[in-house]
Amino acid sequence: MPSRSKYSRLPIFLQLPATIIIWSLVGYVLPWLIFTLFHRYPLGRSVEFVGLDNIIMMLQDKRVYGAVLRTVYYAGLGTLIEVILGMVVALALVNLIKNEKIRFAVLMLFLLPMCLSEAVASIIWIMLATPEGYLNCFLRALGIKPIPWLSIQWSLTTLMIADIWQWTPLPLLLIYAARTSIPAEAYEVAELDRLSPWTTFRIVTWPYIKYAVIVAALFRMILMYITIDKFIMITYGGPGHASEVIGFYVFLQSFGYRNIGYAATLSFATLVTAAIITYFFWNAFRRRE
């Protein structure tokens, strides 16, 4: 019979190919990124060493601070809404729909937006959010004044709503899977003890789904922090700088202005921030074990 030590080494063996590929890419990209942030790449001339000039430029760039604030609003509030909505819908599906076939069909309807590519989702929201789009036509039919969805005041919120519509199914799916794994006996005991719905959620449901909530929040926070597809296709950071988040600003510096050294500096700062966010969620996860 195989020894226990052989079984313990099996997961490491299975994940070894993916680990080698990932660290091979990191081993090339990360040193190149660090090298680039200390250099300038002028068109038609050789690479120039600039020392800390790119870092100083970043610290003095007011557009960076504006982009960071908009990113905090977009990613922070968007993640919170997506996770809460996903949890509410997941619990409602299990508690209110007892027929498994009907519940599965409803779940599939909720998952449809997540199956769309970012390009398709962006085109849908362009048709919805333009001044004469479907959203304003619906508001006019209800006798409500149209909303300038792509204006300076509303553009960033509109992009956040579009992301919530498309990606709330991810937290929903993770939390739904965790909720359906809870033994029915636990709820039978809670019913016998005549616990209130809130007490039942706090004592029975939450200990089972809290890890899924943390993982869903981490996934969505990081993805909203770095994703720029909708910003490119719907507003291109506008009007003005109204929807210019940090990820789009890095894209603009690299591919728009061809300021590769400065873009690398912004990318490295973005990478460090993402690592800090991941570390925070990981610690929160470990403290709850």
pLDDT digits (tens, 9 = 90+) for 139-173: 999 999 999 999 999 999 999 999 999 999 999 99
Residues with Cβ within 8 Å of 136's Cβ and at least 6 positions away in sequence, in order, are 130, 146, 147, 149
Which pLDDT does position 94 carry in this prediction? 92
- The answer, yes or no, to whether residue 288 has pLDDT greater than 60, is no
CA-based nearest residue to 54, from 35, 72, 68: 35
List Cβ neighbours of 249 (8 Å cut-off, separation of 6 or more): 63, 64, 67, 237, 266
CATH number of 61-287: 1.10.3720.10
- Residue labelled with tokens 């988040």: 245
Task: Look at 110 and 284; give whichever has higher pLDDT.
Answer: 110
Q: Provide the mean pLDDT of the chain.
A: 88
List pLDDT tens digits, range 35-92.
Answer: 888 988 887 788 889 889 999 999 999 999 999 999 999 999 999 999 999 999 999 9
pLDDT digits (tens, 9 = 90+) for 192-238: 888 888 999 999 999 999 889 988 998 898 888 888 999 999 999 98
Backbone CA torsion sign across 20, 21, 23, 25: positive
Q: 3-class SS at 285?
A: helix
Biggest CA-to-CA distance, the chain: 78
| 247-259 average pLDDT score | 90
pLDDT for res 256:
86
Stated pTM of the model: 0.86
- Residue-level pLDDT at 1: 45
Write down the pLDDT at residue 289.
57
Instruction: Map out the domains of the chain as residue ranges.
Output: 61-287
